[in-house]
């Protein structure tokens, strides 16, 4: 039996990190939104590591925040330790990472969602998408209810036909002991959406009271916590430490002896796993010259004994897992609370998506998160936010929000997956970004706040603060440019005191700040007209001046890049009809239907000669049309 | 490939090979064409290209602005847009001095900021700028495809062997250091040795040295190496090796032996009236002439495929052998000079056309042979492949660019900049290098990180 469950503008399937952002964005933009989850206790669940951020990922969180998403605020409110990574390197690769209190993280996000006007959260398993004339019309759930909608966003994570593998034991299951979603895959396939099978895994959780932390190296957080959200003023918490320990010969011996019992090696698991999260057996087998591997011990929260053992994910049988964990110093008596497992799941081919994350051939149907083949909470949340915004934009008949590769990590992420396709779970990395120096985590607000504001996700007050910061920074840079000091004996004495070398001619403070040993704060001794700047304004001034030359170089590259992105290609082109195009190129172009010359040139298998042929063809069409119009 | 999609920069290419009359034309097209050629040109009366009228010839010298040395006597024609083939500003440089100055001029243009045109790019621009009719679109596409294929053939044949090995070595060196830097950036907390500035420096300097080696090879030898490929064929003991020695005698100075170009087929170079010829299989010629050993039909075919010009030689004192008859059928479609040697043994009144009578003992017939070789080039029968010149200049240019980026990396390092900025320079260097092989960098760095380092949660 089916029944009408109600009418919504937007239905979001799945309340993980993608679904939460998607639903919140849609509701905050004023659209009536329904958020479905297979289990109300799994909202914003972190089934793998208990941390948010890290290299590349920290950038994503800051960008989500600048656009008006929730992840940054949520982790700021629930973190138990924080660290800025890569501080020994330059500002472009500084990355924030915080340990979360997992349960607290979930509770806070659930509370935010529950109290969001226009948004209803329901425990229901979506089983079918309802399509009429190439348009989404509703979502059906296991109990028979049909929720009519004008747009739907599928954020099904790793639940689709989820299969859990622990050594020789395997069963249908979702992450963290939850039920899998066994029906939706079929409905997607029936609507022409091809699926592929990916795999990921997670280590065991062990009981803190069974560990001996004295045998491990303590890892504390930073003294001063820098928040993720540009709205969070400061964070004052008692931080909880993590620990570091190592595997050893004995660990490796056990793995070698039992490798034939690993489904990764005996052919049981066929899904493609991420190289970014190799299992311990993969590490030992592939790098057998390494005599030890790092193990990071991370608490899962303040009110639990559960400890996440980073570096020990495995799909070996449970008995082997226990043996090998117990070889590690400090874990000799480790008691398992949850076993390590591998999970296989269905995901789509993201090349079927537009940059808005809408499916190319079904109107109003969006996809975000691990269903698109990505891995990671942050990658999921970033896509969720964009899908949420664009579902609304679609309903309002407005242009979608599409961030390009020179604007945001989010832009790189989406462009990569929809243009290049993926054959393993996709993780954000700073080296994927060609304009890394411009896309810093420190300037995410400057890059993206206006876009969040225009979408209606950033309020007036915050927008005004953003404008103030922007002006303050610009003015201060101007001022430093015109503020010169003379090579007087007094000034040069100060220079030496500051650990620098004397100046030979009059120099602006701008020039002096470019010296590697100089900081904005140090220059105060020369500067009696200095305005009061807060730390993030100072940071901007300093970074923008110190790396000015390199930033300019990248900006020049971006200009070229933008020109090509703006050369649009009609999306109804049948490339196989272009006679001069090689078959391989024509097929690839037909599958992806790039929107611009820039995007087309990034498709693998499309050569410069193909691009030239395409240009000639487009010019030919243009002239034909002009002639027809005359 | 961004520049070539934007059609905004200034491009150059050899418009004709060193064929008829030994004149080659380099065509430069784009907004900066006039401005960029100007500083390389000197007119005896002080006329400048900028002031010259459109569609008039301007006589003068091309000069190297660095050394102020004359390179070649040229005629320039300036065509102001839209009245040119591409409808852009075009300068055509008619060079007289053969392949070496042409290569030099192309090199100067490239280092002045001109980009080497992609195959068919002039025609493409002509079409995009409305110079060619709508109906010609298909033909333009064909030209692009045909030229690309042709270009590929040459660049691949040039990349065979040691040169490609050298490029691969440089690529690996840079990729290794780059992926190490990136692994440190992506996984700051993992057990990977932090790459030190001195390690980066060592790798960068090593790469620069290797590039210099390749460049030296290319400048000293490669230019001469792109002569007209010539094979000397004939039965054993007809005098092939004596002919070779005679031809080589005057050319000792340019017989080079630069590693990287010769493999089992040994090549030697002769210069006949300013035109370089590359004689292939000189080892084979000597061997088969010394020992009584015949070269197989397959090998002959192989040589013929490679050669632009064939010198076929027989011993006139002996009757025509069956083998010789076979060889002569193979030669039907080739540009061949036929030599009847050992006229000292058999006095022959008149040799039937096209045979050139020769006696290597008295050196009779040598001058006639040389004249014939040169005539065939000037008549355009035998053409120097312009593509060789082009690929070679392109490679040199890319290698120089790669070097520039590596020097920038050293500067970045010296000015105390962090690793992710050094990485940008090294990345640019790899990309310049990769433009030679056409292999995209794409996922290579990330693949390398996960191949070389054990990281990930």
Per-residue DSSP letters for A69-106? -SHHHHHHHHEEEEEEETTTS-GGG-EEEEEE-HHHHH
Integer angstrom CA distances of residue A192 from A30, A183, A360, A421 = 31, 15, 11, 18
Instruction: Compare A470 and B446 and report the one with higher pLDDT.
Output: A470
pLDDT cut 70: percent of chain A above it? 99
| Residue pointed to by tokens 């070097």 | B403
Does domain B2-117 match CATH 3.30.1360.120? yes
Please, which contacts does B316-320 make with residues 24 or more away whose CB atoms are closer than 8 Å?
A: B316/B340, B316/B341, B316/B342, B316/B343, B316/B345, B316/B346, B316/B348, B316/B357, B317/B342, B317/B345, B317/B346
pLDDT cut 70: percent of chain B above it? 77
Question: Which of A616, A623, A628 would best serve as a mutation to test chain B binding (most B beta carbons within 10 A)?
Answer: A616
Min distance B115 CA to chain A CA atoms (Å): 15
3-state secondary structure of A496: helix
Hey, CA dihedral for A549, A551, A554, A560, is it positive or negative? negative
DSSP 8-state code for residue B219 = I
| Residue pointed to by tokens 């639940």 | A159
Interface touch B424/A437, C-beta < 8 Å: yes
pLDDT tens-place string over residues A169-211:
999 999 999 999 999 999 999 999 999 999 999 999 999 999 9
Query: CATH fold of A567-629, please?
Result: DNA polymerase; domain 1 (1.10.150)
Q: A56 — contact with chain B (CB < 8 Å)?
A: yes
pLDDT confidence of A514, banded at 50, 70, 90? very high
How many inter-chain contacts (A to B, CB under 8 Å) are there? 147
**Chain A environment of B134 (Cβ under 8 Å):** 620, 623-624, 627
Pairing of strands A507-508, A195-202: unpaired
Question: Closest-CA residue in chain A for B445?
Answer: A431
In order, the DSSP letters of A389-438 are HHHHHHHTT-------TTT-HHHHHHHHHHHT--SS-B---GGG-TTTTT
Interface touch A564/B5, C-beta < 8 Å: yes
Structure tokens at A49: 């590591």
- pLDDT of B22: 59
Question: Closest-CA residue in chain A for B190?
Answer: A294
Return d(Cα A538, Cα A223) in angstroms, integer: 19
pLDDT confidence of B321, banded at 50, 70, 90? confident
The alpha carbon of residue A193 and the mean position of all alpha carbons in its chain are separated, in whole angstroms, by 24
pLDDT tens-place string over residues B124-138:
999 999 888 877 888
Burial class of residue B349 in the structure, from the number of CB atoms within 10 Å of its CB (0-12 exposed, 13-18 middle, 19+ buried): exposed
**Chain A environment of B175 (Cβ under 8 Å):** none
| Residue pointed to by tokens 């970033």 | A382
Burial class of residue B68 in the structure, from the number of CB atoms within 10 Å of its CB (0-12 exposed, 13-18 middle, 19+ buried): exposed
Q: A117 — contact with chain B (CB < 8 Å)?
A: no
Q: Which CATH superfamily is domain B228-380 in?
A: P-loop containing nucleotide triphosphate hydrolases (3.40.50.300)
Among A376, A432, A580, smallest CA distance to A93 is for: A432
3-state secondary structure of A294: strand
- pLDDT of B366: 86
3-state secondary structure of A55: coil
Structure tokens at A3: 């029944």
A530 phi and psi angles, rounded to 5 deg: -65, 130
pLDDT confidence of B93, banded at 50, 70, 90? very high
pLDDT cut 90: percent of chain A above it? 88
pLDDT at B223 over 50: no
* Beta-ladder partners of B27: B13, B92
* Beta-ladder partners of A426: A374
Given A310, A579, A609, which is nearest B119 (Cβ)? A609
Return d(Cα B341, Cα B326) in angstroms, integer: 19
**Chain B environment of A612 (Cβ under 8 Å):** 4, 118, 120-121, 124, 144
**Chain A environment of B184 (Cβ under 8 Å):** 89
Q: Give the alpha-carbon dihedral of B325, B330, B336, B337, to 10 degrees.
A: -20
Interface touch A93/B446, C-beta < 8 Å: no
Structure tokens at B247: 């031809």
Q: A277 — contact with chain B (CB < 8 Å)?
A: yes
CB A395 within 8 A of CB A31: yes
Interface touch A580/B456, C-beta < 8 Å: no
If one counts every other C-beta atom within 10 angstroms of the C-beta of residue A492, the result is 17
pLDDT confidence of A412, banded at 50, 70, 90? very high
Q: pLDDT averaged over chain A? A: 95
Q: A273 — contact with chain B (CB < 8 Å)?
A: no
Interface touch B4/A608, C-beta < 8 Å: yes
Q: Which residue ranges does chain A devote to CATH 1.10.10.1800?
A: 466-552
CB B229 within 8 A of CB B350: no
Integer angstrom CA distances of residue A563 from A554, B6, B44 = 14, 8, 43
Hey, CA dihedral for A544, A545, A546, A551, is it positive or negative? positive
- pLDDT of B162: 58
pLDDT confidence of A628, banded at 50, 70, 90? confident
Return d(Cα B439, Cα A155) in angstroms, integer: 36
Structure tokens at A337: 């609370």
| Residue pointed to by tokens 């000189």 | B282
Query: CATH fold of A205-342, please?
Result: Elongation Factor Tu (Ef-tu); domain 3 (2.40.30)
- pLDDT of B293: 46
pLDDT tens-place string over residues A433-466:
999 999 999 999 999 999 999 999 999 999 999 9
CATH fit for domain B162-221+387-452, picks 3.40.50.300, 1.10.3720.10, 1.20.120.430, 1.10.645.10:
1.20.120.430
pLDDT at B207 over 50: yes
Strand stretches in A460-577, DSSP E: 484-485, 507-508
Q: A549 — contact with chain B (CB < 8 Å)?
A: no
Among B329, B275, B271, B321, smallest CA distance to B300 is for: B329
Strand order in the sheet with B275-280: B268-272, B275-280, B228-234, B309-315, B336-341, B355-357
CB A160 within 8 A of CB A184: yes
Q: A86 — contact with chain B (CB < 8 Å)?
A: yes
Q: Which residue ranges does chain A devote to CATH 3.50.50.60?
A: 3-199+345-455
How open is the CA angle A228-A232-A233, to the nearest 5 degrees?
120
Given B124, B185, B456, which is nearest A86 (Cβ)? B185
| Residue pointed to by tokens 């807060």 | A534
pLDDT tens-place string over residues A231-287:
999 999 999 999 999 999 999 999 999 999 888 787 776 666 778 888 999 899 888
- Pick the range with the lowest mean pLDDT from A44-53, A334-343, B97-106: B97-106
Burial class of residue B332 in the structure, from the number of CB atoms within 10 Å of its CB (0-12 exposed, 13-18 middle, 19+ buried): exposed
Q: A290 — contact with chain B (CB < 8 Å)?
A: yes
Among A206, A214, A382, smallest CA distance to A298 is for: A206
Question: Which of A612, A621, A623 would best serve as a mutation to test chain B binding (most B beta carbons within 10 A)?
Answer: A612
Min distance B106 CA to chain A CA atoms (Å): 22
- pLDDT of A478: 97
Domain boundaries, chain B: 2-117, 162-221+387-452, 228-380
| Residue pointed to by tokens 């002919």 | B243
List, as ranges, residues 302-341 from A with C-beta within 8 Å of B. 310-311, 313
pLDDT at B156 over 60: no
pLDDT at B21 over 60: no
Return d(Cα B428, Cα B430) in angstroms, integer: 5
Return d(Cα A601, Cα A567) in angstroms, integer: 12
**Chain A environment of B424 (Cβ under 8 Å):** 436-437, 550, 554
Rounded to an integer, the average pLDDT of A31-35 is 98
Interface touch B134/A560, C-beta < 8 Å: no
**Chain A environment of B188 (Cβ under 8 Å):** 55, 85-86, 88-89
Pairing of strands A79-85, A51-53: unpaired
Q: Which CATH architecture has domain A466-552?
A: Orthogonal Bundle (1.10)
CB B25 within 8 A of CB B16: yes
Min distance A298 CA to chain B CA atoms (Å): 12
Strand order in the sheet with A145-148: A3-7, A145-148, A135-141, A126-132
CB B72 within 8 A of CB B96: yes
Given B119, B134, B442, which is nearest A624 (Cβ)? B134
Rounded to an integer, the average pLDDT of A37-50 is 97
Q: A108 — contact with chain B (CB < 8 Å)?
A: no
CB A291 within 8 A of CB A343: no
Integer angstrom CA distances of residue B18 from A265, A341, B123 = 61, 69, 21
| CB-based contacts of B99, cutoff 8 Å, min separation 6 | B18, B24, B223, B226, B227, B275, B276, B384, B389
| CB-based contacts of A468, cutoff 8 Å, min separation 6 | none
Question: Which of B420, B432, B443, B451 would best serve as a mutation to test chain A binding (most A beta carbons within 10 A)?
Answer: B420
Min distance B264 CA to chain A CA atoms (Å): 34
Integer angstrom CA distances of residue B130 from A216, A329, B88, B337 = 73, 75, 11, 46
pLDDT at B154 over 70: no
Interface touch B145/A56, C-beta < 8 Å: no
Q: Which CATH architecture has domain A3-199+345-455?
A: 3-Layer(bba) Sandwich (3.50)
Total residues found in chain B within this entry: 457
Return d(Cα B265, Cα B271) in angstroms, integer: 20
Interface touch A294/B190, C-beta < 8 Å: yes
If one counts every other C-beta atom within 10 angstroms of the C-beta of residue B213, the result is 14
Return d(Cα A20, Cα B457) in angstroms, integer: 25
Exposure string of B245-254, with b = 16+ CB inside 10 Å and e = fewer, is: eebbeeeeeb
**Chain B environment of A296 (Cβ under 8 Å):** 189, 457
Question: Closest-CA residue in chain A for B435?
Answer: A608
């Amino acid at each position: 039996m089916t029944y009408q469950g109600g009418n919504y503008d937007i239905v979001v399937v799945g309340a993980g990190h993608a679904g939460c952002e998607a639903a919140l964005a849609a509701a905050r933009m004023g659209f009536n939104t329904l958020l479905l989850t297979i289990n109300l206790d799994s909202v914003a669940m972190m089934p793998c590591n208990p941390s948010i951020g890290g290299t590349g990922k920290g950038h994503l969180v800051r960008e989500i925040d600048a656009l008006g998403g929730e992840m940054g605020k949520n982790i700021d409110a629930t973190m138990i330790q924080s660290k800025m990574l890569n501080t020994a390197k330059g500002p472009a690769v500084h990355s924030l990472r915080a340990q979360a209190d997992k349960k607290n993280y979930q509770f806070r996000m659930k509370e935010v969602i529950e109290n969001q006007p226009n948004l209803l959260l329901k425990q229901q398993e979506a089983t079918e998408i309802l399509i009429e004339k190439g348009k989404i019309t509703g979502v059906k759930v296991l109990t028979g209810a049909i929720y009519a909608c004008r747009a739907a966003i599928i954020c099904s994570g790793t639940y689709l036909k989820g299969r859990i593998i622990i050594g020789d034991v395997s069963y249908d299951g979702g992450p963290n002991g939850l039920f899998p979603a066994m029906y939706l895959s079929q409905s997607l396939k029936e609507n022409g959406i091809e699926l592929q099978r990916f795999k990921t895994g997670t280590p065991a959780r062990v009981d803190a009271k069974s560990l001996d932390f004295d045998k491990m190296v303590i890892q504390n957080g930073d003294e001063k916590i820098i928040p993720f959200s540009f709205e969070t003023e400061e964070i004052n918490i008692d931080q909880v430490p993590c620990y570091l320990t190592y595997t050893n010969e004995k660990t490796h011996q056990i793995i070698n002896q039992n490798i034939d019992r690993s489904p990764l090696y005996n052919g049981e698991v066929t899904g493609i796993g991420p190289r970014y999260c190799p299992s311990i057996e993969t590490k030992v087998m592939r790098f057998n010259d390494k005599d030890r591997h790092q193990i990071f011990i991370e608490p899962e929260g303040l009110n639990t004994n559960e400890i996440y053992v980073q570096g020990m994910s495995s799909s070996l049988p449970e008995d082997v897992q226990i043996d090998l964990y117990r070889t590690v110093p400090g874990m000799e008596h480790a008691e398992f609370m949850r076993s390590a497992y591998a999970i296989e799941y269905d995901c789509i081919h993201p090349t079927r998506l537009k940059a808005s994350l809408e499916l190319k051939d079904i109107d109003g149907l969006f996809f975000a998160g691990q269903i698109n083949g990505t891995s990671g909470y942050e990658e999921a949340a970033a896509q969720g936010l964009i899908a949420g915004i664009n579902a609304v934009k679609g309903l309002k008949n407005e242009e979608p929000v599409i961030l390009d590769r020179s604007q945001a990590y989010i832009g790189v992420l989406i462009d990569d997956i929809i243009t290049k396709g993926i054959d393993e779970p996709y993780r954000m990395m700073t080296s994927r970004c060609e304009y890394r120096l411009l896309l810093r985590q420190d300037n995410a607000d400057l890059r993206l706040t206006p876009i969040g504001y225009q979408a209606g996700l950033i309020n007036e007050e915050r927008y005004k603060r953003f404008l103030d910061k922007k002006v303050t920074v610009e003015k201060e840079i101007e001022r430093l440019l015109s503020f010169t000091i003379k090579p007087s004996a007094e000034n040069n004495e100060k220079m030496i005191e500051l650990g620098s070398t004397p100046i030979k001619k009059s120099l602006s403070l701008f020039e002096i700040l470019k010296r590697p040993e100089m900081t904005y704060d140090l220059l105060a001794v020369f500067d009696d007209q200095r305005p009061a700047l807060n730390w993030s304004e100072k940071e901007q001034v300093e970074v923008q001046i110190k790396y000015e030359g390199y930033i300019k170089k990248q900006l020049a590259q971006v200009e070229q890049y933008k020109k090509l992105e703006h050369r649009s290609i009609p999306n109804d082109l049948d490339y196989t009809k272009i006679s001069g195009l090689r078959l391989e190129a024509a097929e690839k172009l037909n599958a992806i239907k790039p929107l611009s010359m820039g995007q087309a040139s990034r498709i693998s298998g499309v050569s410069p000669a193909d691009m030239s042929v395409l240009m000639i063809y487009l010019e030919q069409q243009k002239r034909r049309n002009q002639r027809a119009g005359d | 490939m961004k520049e070539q999609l934007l059609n905004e920069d200034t491009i150059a290419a050899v418009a004709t090979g060193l064929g008829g009359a030994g004149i080659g034309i380099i065509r430069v097209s784009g907004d900066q064409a006039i401005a960029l050629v100007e500083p390389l040109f000197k007119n005896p009366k002080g006329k400048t290209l900028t002031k010259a009228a459109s569609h008039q010839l301007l006589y003068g010298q091309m000069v190297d602005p660095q050394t102020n040395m004359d390179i070649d006597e040229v005629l320039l024609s300036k065509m102001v847009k839209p009245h040119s083939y591409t409808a852009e500003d075009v300068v055509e440089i008619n060079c007289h001095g053969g392949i070496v100055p042409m290569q030099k001029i192309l090199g100067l243009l490239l280092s002045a900021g001109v980009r080497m045109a992609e195959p068919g790019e002039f025609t493409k621009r002509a079409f995009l700028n409305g110079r060619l009719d709508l109906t010609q679109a298909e033909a333009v596409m064909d030209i692009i495809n045909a030229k690309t294929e042709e270009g590929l053939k040459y660049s691949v044949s040039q990349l065979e062997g040691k040169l490609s090995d050298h490029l691969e070595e440089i690529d690996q060196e840079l990729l290794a250091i780059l992926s190490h830097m990136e692994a440190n950036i992506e996984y700051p907390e993992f057990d990977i040795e932090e790459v030190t500035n001195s390690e980066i420096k060592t790798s960068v300097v090593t790469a620069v040295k290797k590039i210099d080696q390749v460049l030296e090879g290319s400048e000293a030898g490669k230019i001469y190496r792109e002569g007209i490929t010539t094979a000397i064929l004939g039965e054993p003991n007809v005098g092939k090796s004596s002919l070779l020695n005679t031809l080589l005698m005057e050319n000792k100075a340019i017989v080079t032996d630069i590693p990287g170009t010769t493999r089992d087929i040994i090549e030697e170079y002769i210069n006949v009236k300013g035109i370089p010829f590359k004689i292939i299989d000189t080892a084979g010629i000597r061997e088969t002439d010394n020992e009584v050993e015949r070269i197989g039909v397959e090998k002959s075919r192989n040589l013929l495929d490679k050669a632009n010009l064939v010198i076929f030689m027989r011993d006139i004192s002996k009757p025509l052998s069956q083998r010789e008859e076979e060889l002569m059928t193979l030669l039907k479609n080739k540009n061949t000079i036929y030599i009847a040697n050992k006229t000292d043994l058999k006095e022959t009144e008149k040799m039937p056309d096209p045979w050139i009578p020769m006696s290597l003992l008295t050196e009779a017939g040598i001058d006639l042979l040389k004249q014939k070789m040169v005539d065939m080039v000037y008549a355009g029968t035998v053409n120097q492949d312009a593509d060789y010149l082009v690929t070679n200049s392109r490679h040199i240019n890319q290698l120089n660019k790669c070097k520039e980026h590596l020097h920038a990396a050293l500067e970045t390092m010296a000015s105390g900049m962090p690793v992710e900025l050094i990485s940008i320079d090294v990345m640019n260097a790899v990309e310049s290098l990769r433009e030679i092989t056409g292999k995209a960098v794409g996922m290579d760095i990330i693949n390398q990180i996960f191949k070389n380092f054990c990281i990930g949660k």
